[in-house]
Chain A
Amino acid sequence: MEGLWNWGFVWQTLPILLEGVVVTIQISVLSYLLALVLGLVLALLRRNPRFWISRPTGEIVEFIRSTPLLVQIFFIFYVGPQFGVTIHPWVAGILALGIHYGTYTSEVYRAGLEGVIKGQWEAAIALNLSKYHTYRDIVLPQAIPPIIPTLGNYLIGIFKETPLLSVITIAELLTRAKDVASDHFRFTEPYIMVGVIFLVLSIPASYFVNWSERRFKRGYGRK
């Protein structure tokens, strides 16, 4: 193929890449759900009064947070086979992204929980509410709304990092671009298109999150 930029190649490649986008979105959503649930669990564990629960959890969270996601992806994908268990690439990818981002969301949940006024906890004790009901009815409904925008940002973060999963054969956007590029011995259009697709999807999403953050702060009526 000749030339610096071949528009024909672009239109030819686009449908293949869009198929990859679908996979990217599916994986992002599934990983994000795992991250949301895991984050809350980790945040609650770190608040546990028994230090032999909260300290190890804290150390593990720090460890995962401060080490490269790429290495964690390889780890989860290949550690199973080492012990005789095969893991489907999607499972490995979703686990890796979900756990890694679960450590990020756990920090956000912790901030949200810290933001609930101490008096609310005390009123719940005064009414003799169980821990379960204290969290479910009183604390979480106050802790979560303010952190929703930040949590939303992490969905965008996961979405942008899914190309890392190309190293474990998941057929997301970057993998397809790599395949097209190696089939035609031409990298320029596929990779630039990947960049453009990410920009087109993530920039409006970020603006939406920022806009909703401003709206949230205004409309909730927090003192």
Chain B
Amino acid sequence: MEFFYSIFDGVALESVLSPLLKGTSVELLVPLLKGTVVTIWITLFGSIAMTVTGIAIGLMKLSAFWPVRYIAIGYIEFFRGTSLIVQMFIWFFVLPTFGLEMPAFIVGVLAVGMNVGGYFAEVVRSAVQSVPKGQYEASIALNLPNASRMRRIILPQAIRLMLPPWGNLLIELLKGTAIVSLITLHDLTFEATSLNNANFQTLQNLGTALLLYYILGRFVIIPIVRALERRFNRGISRSAA
């Protein structure tokens, strides 16, 4: 298990960068970039968690079966009615007493994923409902079975609508990962605040940390989302239905 998790911390990166940068003016990048590796992994897994729970809960909210719908509504109300830090503290400190003890990394991923997933669920629901009614009718007319209709006709069109808000929520996810620093994960924020407690160069330490988050958001996440948007908009003419 230890080895498994060592893939996801930045120790390897640190051992490469440390000899290179030690003693230079950008020495602070070593711990910060080490933490960034953890942040990236949490964001990556968190985005999978967010997408999966968002789609599941979103579709559940559209169910004709009212118990399913109410579970979805309860989920959304809970995850949107409390903030991420409160949720994360409950997962990390309270769940173990009920027998559910998980490594901090998993807690972090699930907490941010399920939190932002609650917001994504509304996006999914709205996108699926925005697909023009004619599409449902046409697929019924073509006698497509229910699941197939969902999968091949409705979802692809809903995905196109979901992508821009999904991109925005990814940024929210990235911002949310900072909170895992409070449950002992050595992410970018943790490294930045630790460094700051040592040398109190707040402007440099935390300023650079903010810059790194900004770069991750604007120059990594946004371009990826734009590329996905372009791919999913391929062949769709602007005029259309």
Contact = CB atoms under 8 A, between A and B. Distances in A.
Touch between chains A and B, by CB atoms below 8 Å: yes
Interface of A: 4, 62-63, 66-72, 74-75, 78-79, 81-82, 160-161, 163-164, 166-167, 174, 181, 187-188, 191-192, 194-195, 198-199, 202-203, 206
B78 A199 contact: yes
Interface stretch (B55-63, B139-147, B156-164, B171-179): B171-179
B175 A69 contact: yes
Given A71-B192, A71-B210, A195-B90, A82 B85 contact: no
A67 B214 contact: yes
Contacts of A72: 210
B98 to A, nearest CB: 7
Nearest to A75: B206
Contact of A187 (B87, B94, B203): B94
Contacts of A75: 202, 206-207, 210
A68 B213 contact: yes
Contacts of B177: 68
Interface residues of B, number: 40
A125 B241 CA distance: 40
Q: At the interface, is chain B mostly helix, strand, loop or mixed? A: helix
27 contacts: A62-B218, A63-B210, A66-B214, A67-B210, A68-B175, A68-B176, A68-B189, A69-B175, A74-B189, A74-B202, A74-B206, A75-B210, A79-B202, A79-B203, A82-B201, A161-B83, A161-B85, A164-B85, A188-B93, A188-B94, A188-B97, A191-B89, A195-B90, A199-B78, A203-B77, A203-B81, A206-B80
B192 A187 contact: no
Interface string B59-89: 0000000000000000001101111011101
Q: Which of A66, A82, A198 has the most CB of B within 10 A?
A: A66
Interface of B: 77-78, 80-83, 85-87, 89-90, 93-94, 97-98, 171, 174-179, 181-182, 189, 192-193, 196, 200-203, 206-207, 209-210, 213-214, 217-218
A110 to B, nearest CB: 16
List of 7 A-B pairs having minimum Cβ-Cβ separation, nearest first: A68-B178, A187-B93, A78-B202, A160-B83, A75-B206, A79-B202, A68-B175
Contacts of A188: 93-94, 97-98
A70 B181 contact: yes
A202 B210 contact: no
A161 B209 CA distance: 20
Contacts of A68: 174-179, 189, 210, 213
A7 to B, nearest CB: 16
Contacts of B189: 68, 70-71, 74
A82 B202 contact: yes
A62 B182 CA distance: 25
Contacts of B213: 66-68, 71
A195 B206 CA distance: 29
A75 B210 CA distance: 9
B33 to A, nearest CB: 16
Given A67-B210, A71-B192, A195-B82, A78 B94 contact: no
Nearest to A63: B214
A74 B177 CA distance: 15
Nearest to B89: A191
A167 B203 CA distance: 18
A161 B88 CA distance: 13
B130 to A, nearest CB: 19
Contact of A70 (B97, B179, B217): B179
B86 A198 contact: yes
A194 B178 contact: no
A174 B86 contact: yes
B171 A191 contact: no
Given A71-B213, A82-B203, A160-B82, 14 more contacts: A62-B218, A63-B214, A66-B175, A67-B175, A69-B178, A74-B192, A160-B86, A174-B85, A187-B89, A188-B94, A194-B89, A195-B86, A198-B86, A202-B82
